[in-house]
Amino acid sequence: MSNEWADFLQTQHAHSDEVGVSHFADDAATADNDTNFICDLSQIGILRINGDDAETFLQGQLSNDVNALDGKQSQLSSYCSPKGRILASFRLYRTGDDFYLLIPADTLAATQKRLRMFVLMSKVTIDDVSDELIRIGISGEKANAALEQLSLPVPATENGLASKDSVHILAIPSAQTRYILVAPLAAAPDMWNSLKEQLPAKGYNHWNLMDIQQGIPSIVAATVDAFVPQMVNLHAIDGVSFSKGCYPGQEIVARMHYLGKLKRRMYRAHVETDQAPKPGDTLFSADSDSGQGAGQIVMSAALANGHYEVLAVMQIKAYEESGLHLHNNEGPKLEPRDIPYTVSLEREK
C-alpha cells in the first residue's frame, strides 16, 4: 500500500492489520449479512505485464486461455509449478496492450520474480503497480448508481470489464452486484468519497466472505504449492483451459482431467471455534486414509461470536462419510454449506 493511500485511509478512520484494512471506526471487523459496502482491497496487489511478446509469454505460463481476452472481460487463472501445483492464483484482464494480474499481495513478489526468470529474450516487462493503481471493492444494490454518479461505465456481463480512460471496472460473480474498481492513485480519494456517499466503508473480511460464498478461492503464501487447480475447483469456475497449449504443470493438470478421478476438492463450510481458522490449517477425520491430514483451509471469514465461514480442500471420502474437524480429530466440526456451481469429480470422456 502506498504511503499516500495509507494516509488517506487514515483520514477515513481505517484500522489495518497484517493483511490489510480490517475495519473502519464505525464498523466491526466481523462480517454480517449486509452486502452493501465499499472496501479497500490493498490485500490484493496488481502486476502489469506488457511488451510486444506479453500475450505469447503469458499464454505459455498460465492455466487459462490468455488469447481469449479482448478487453471486455476478466478471467480467473493460475500459475503452476512443473508438478501442477498452484504457485499463484489471480484474476487477469487486458486493456490495450497491457495485461493486469490481481493477485494476493503476499504472493505478488515471488510470482513476479519467478515469471521474470522465464522472460529470457522475450520483449516483456513485469511491474508491480500496486502503489500506482488503487483497488476498491464495491458491493450491493446501489453499486451501479454509485458508478454512474462517477460517470463510469458498468460492465454488462458476469466477469465483464468496462473501462474509461485509465479506470477499469471488473464485474465479480456474486449473489449480488459486485465490482472491483481499479483507479490511478491521484483519482482514488475523490472516487472513494463519492462512493461512500451511497455505500458504507467496511473491511476486507466482508469481501472475503462474498468470495467464500461464491466458492472463489485465493491462494495465499501459506497455501502456495499445496493444490493442483482442480482441488480448488478452478476447472468448475472457468479458471483452467483444457484446449490451450502447454504451460508449466499442464501435463499433470490435463492428466487429472482426462485420466484421473478427483480425490480432494474444495468445499464451503461453517465452523464455530475460539481459534480462528487460517489458510494452511490442517483438517482431520477419524476415517482419513492419508498421513498428511484429511484437508486444508484455503480461506476464512469471521462472522460474529466465534463463527467462521471457510473454503477448504477436503478428502471427498472423509467429508462424505464422517466429516472433518479443525485443528485435530476432536476439534470443531465443519458444517457443510452450498456453493453455487457443480464440481465434476470424474474424468472427462
pLDDT band at 51 (very low <50, low <70, confident <90, very high): very high
pLDDT(348) > 60:
no
pLDDT tens, position by position, 53-111: 999 999 999 999 999 999 999 999 999 999 999 999 999 999 999 999 999 999 999 99
What percent of the chain shows pLDDT beyond 70?
Answer: 97
Class of domain 226-337: mainly beta
What percent of the chain shows pLDDT beyond 90?
Answer: 73
What distances in angstroms separate CA 44 from CA 40, 103, 175, 195, 297, one per listed residue? 9, 5, 21, 20, 19
Q: How far is CA 20 from the centre of its chain?
A: 15
Mean pLDDT within 333-349? 80
pLDDT tens, position by position, 190-200: 999 999 999 99
Q: Which of 26-40, 102-116, 198-212, 223-237 has the lowest mean pLDDT?
A: 26-40
pLDDT for residue 349: 46
Cell 465443519, residue located: 334
- Three-state DSSP string of the chain: CCHHHHHHHHHCCEEECCCCEEEECCCCCCCCCCCCEEEECCCEEEEEEECCCHHHHHHCCECCCHHHCCCCEEEEEEEECCCCCEEEEEEEEEECCEEEEEEEHHHHHHHHHHHHHCCCCCCCEEEECCCCEEEEEEECCCHHHHHHHCCCCCCCCCCEEEEECCEEEEECCCCCCEEEEEEECCCHHHHHHHHHCCCCEECHHHHHHHHHHHCCCCCCHHHCCCCCHHHHCHHHCCCCCCCCCCCCCHHHHHHHHHCCCCCEEEEEEEEECCCCCCCCCEEECCCCCCCCCCEEEEEEEECCCCEEEEEEEEEHHHHHHCCCEECCCCCCECEEECCCCCCCCCCCC
Question: Nearest-CA neighbor of 239 among 120, 122, 88?
Answer: 88
Cell 492464483, residue located: 89
> pTM for the complete prediction?
0.93
Strands 133-139 and 178-184, how do they pair? antiparallel
Every domain range in the chain assigned CATH 2.40.30.160: 226-337
Mean pLDDT within 16-39? 85
pLDDT(221) > 90:
yes
Average pLDDT, the chain: 92
pLDDT tens, position by position, 3-17: 899 999 999 999 998
Q: The domain 3-214 belongs to what CATH superfamily? A: Probable tRNA modification gtpase trme; domain 1 (3.30.1360.120)
Cell numbers for 78, please give them: 493460475
Across 117-154, b (16+ Cβ under 10 Å) vs e yields eebeeeebebebebbebbbbbbbbebbeebbeebebbe
pLDDT tens, position by position, 224-277: 999 999 999 999 999 999 998 899 999 899 888 777 778 889 999 999 999 889
Every domain range in the chain assigned CATH 3.30.1360.120: 3-214
